[in-house]
Structure 1
Amino acid sequence: MGAVTDEKPHHLGHRQRLRERFMSGGAASMPDYEVLEMLLFSALPRGDTKPLAKALIDRFGSLADVLSAPPERLAEVKGVGDGIVAALKLVREAGLRLTRAKALNRPALSSWAAVLEYCQAAMAYENREQFRILFLDRKNTLIADEVQQTGTIDHTPVYPREVAKRALELDATAVILVHNHPSGDPNPSRADIEMTKKVVAAAAALGIVVHDHLIIGRGTHSSFKSLGLL
């Protein structure tokens, strides 16, 4: 009869070591796959999460890409079920709400870094174009943000009159237009420039100011105002 042992699976010690590193201030130096390992602890209370974390990073490229991936693509990775998809999407939603809270109900033009951080978090890793509007009141305080349209990988239909109409409904006196380029290149296209001109004209007819049009790429952006296009 073999001897009884209290030895615990090696992954339990690994989990504890990761937690200790994280809590002792080492989070910034942890690679993406280790942060993802920890995120998976709650969804996979037993077993080693490292292989799945590495598989997800290998498939999508980075932690940000994993968190932003569509549920159906996440589910293509062996070992990923509904619980893991829900856990990853919950983390992304929490991050979006944090960055949004930093920007909402604050003067947008003097809190520009917070506005950009939110737009990057919300749109940079989307695989389809989105056209988002940030609505401002008379004090240029950000009072609402809405995705007006979602398009394809390289085109989003925009209806200038609808932009102006929605601003009136929210009692906004100014807007900031935002859309993403899934390619990662934030340079405006000719279509982007022409569309912006039409939105500016429709808004001006109703006394609404377009402060800027931001194009969001991955970790970068362009500003129509800075480029002299607005």
Structure 2
Amino acid sequence: MSSFAEHPLLFDEAPAQKGAPSYLADHRSRLRARFAEGGADAMPDYELLELLLFRIVPRRDVKPLARALIDRFADVGGVLAASADNLAKTPGIGPAVASELKVTEAVVRRCLRTRALNRPIVSSWQALIDYCHATMSRETTERFRILFLDTKNTLIADEEQARGTVDHVPVYPREVVKRALELDAKALILVHNHPSGDPTPSDADISMTWQIAEACTVLGLTLHDHIIIGHGTETSFRGQGYL
């Protein structure tokens, strides 16, 4: 099967010359060596993105493209979380590159989900937080998820219950507990995001959480926590004393 790079019309840039220049090969070798020696922590975001783009666009200088993507979407996480349409608006990004970046995002999310699911929450709390950040922190509208747990506090289901606007998401306590009973769950963790990046609970967040907590108590369910995901940070209702 031919590679995307063999079809230059898929990209919004000039066709590649035959054979990569020696300086480009040397640059790529240096970046790969630095990654091999120090891992991702030894590299800024644009260089890490370059490593990824090497495989997607093998015979072009992708450094300007990587910098342009970071300038527009802030960091690697923002690049991968961007929609294919928004990615394609960046000069140099055609449908094929946008598609490959979205595949990469899907692989990352699947790996984080696998780490978090089917394990007791106590031993995989950070994995769960990482998964929630990967799936929600870059969303431009509020999303409300419910994590359903069994008697051993093992995650048995993770479902998006509602989608809202930039600063509000409708949540109905009756629907939350109804779904828990359908799944035979014994405990819940609520998760939603604040697109503003500030995970501070609003009065509406607090009121809604208390309503769900009361409904859970009546039906013998445990509400472990409500987590609000911001940009690189989160707020735990349990940790802040709201529950």
TM-score, scaled to structure 2:
0.87
Alignment partner of 1:135 out of 144, 148, 155: 148
Contact 1:176 1:211 in 2 (8 A): yes
| 2:139 is the alignment partner of 1:126 | yes
Detail structure 1 runs of 4+ shifted over 6 Å in the superposition. none
1:209 aligns with 2:222: yes
Moved more, 147-156 or 112-121: 112-121
Indicate the SS of the match to 1:177.
Answer: strand
SS in 2 for 1:213: strand
Q: Which deviates further from its counterpart, 48-57 or 113-122?
A: 113-122
User: Which residue among 52, 72, 95 is the counterpart of 1:39?
Assistant: 52
CA distance in structure 2 between the aligned counterparts of 1:223 and 1:7, rounded to whole angstroms: 50
Listed as ranges, the gaps of 5+ residues in structure 2 are 1-18
Shift of 1:42: 2.2
1:189 maps to: 202
Q: Which residue type is aligned with residue 131 of structure 2? A: Y
Secondary structure of 1:42 counterpart: helix
* Alpha-carbon distance in structure 2 between the residues aligned to 1:119 and 1:26: 24
SS in structure 1 of the partner of residue 160 of structure 2: strand
Superposition deviation, residue 16 in structure 1: 2.1
In the alignment, residue 165 of structure 2 is paired with which amino acid? Answer: T
Amino acid paired to 1:193: I
User: In the alignment, which of 90, 100, 103 is matched to residue 90 of structure 1?
Assistant: 103
Distance, in Å, in 2 between the alignment partners of 1:118 and 1:26 is 21
Distance 1:8 1:154 in 2: 49
Q: Which residue is 1:13 aligned to?
A: 26
Alpha-carbon distance in 2 for matches of 1:115, 1:63:
20
Amino acid at match of 2:237: F
Q: For 2:58 and 2:46, how far apart are their aligned partners in 1?
A: 17
The equivalent position to 2:170 in structure 1, one of 150, 157, 160, is 157
Count residues in correspondence. 225
Q: Does the C-alpha gap of structure 1 residues 8 and 202 become closer, same or farther in structure 2, counting only changes over 3 Å?
A: same
1:56 pairs with 2:56: no
Listed one character per residue, the Cα deviations across residues 58-96 of structure 1 (whole Å, up to 9, x for unaligned) are 111111111111222111111111111122112222222
Aligned to 1:29: 42
Contact preservation (8 Å) 1:163, 1:203: no
Instruction: Please give the secondary structure, in 2, of the residue aligned with 1:90.
Output: helix
- TM-score w.r.t. length of structure 1: 0.92
Taking every aligned residue pair, what percent have the same amino acid on both sides?
57
- 1:107 & 1:26 partners in 2: Cα distance? 29
Q: Aligned-residue CA RMSD in angstroms?
A: 1.7
* Cα contact 1:40–1:87 (8 A) shared by 2: no
Q: Is residue 20–residue 59 contact of structure 2 (8 Å, CA) maintained in 1?
A: no
Question: What do the CA deviations read for 1:100-159 (whole angstroms, capped 9, x no partner)?
Answer: 222211111343222212212221121111101111001111111111111111111112
Against the structure 1 CA distance between its residues 122 and 199, is the aligned structure 2 distance closer, same or farther, given a 3 Å change threshold?
Answer: same
In structure 2, which of residues 126, 135, 156 is the aligned counterpart of residue 113 of structure 1? 126
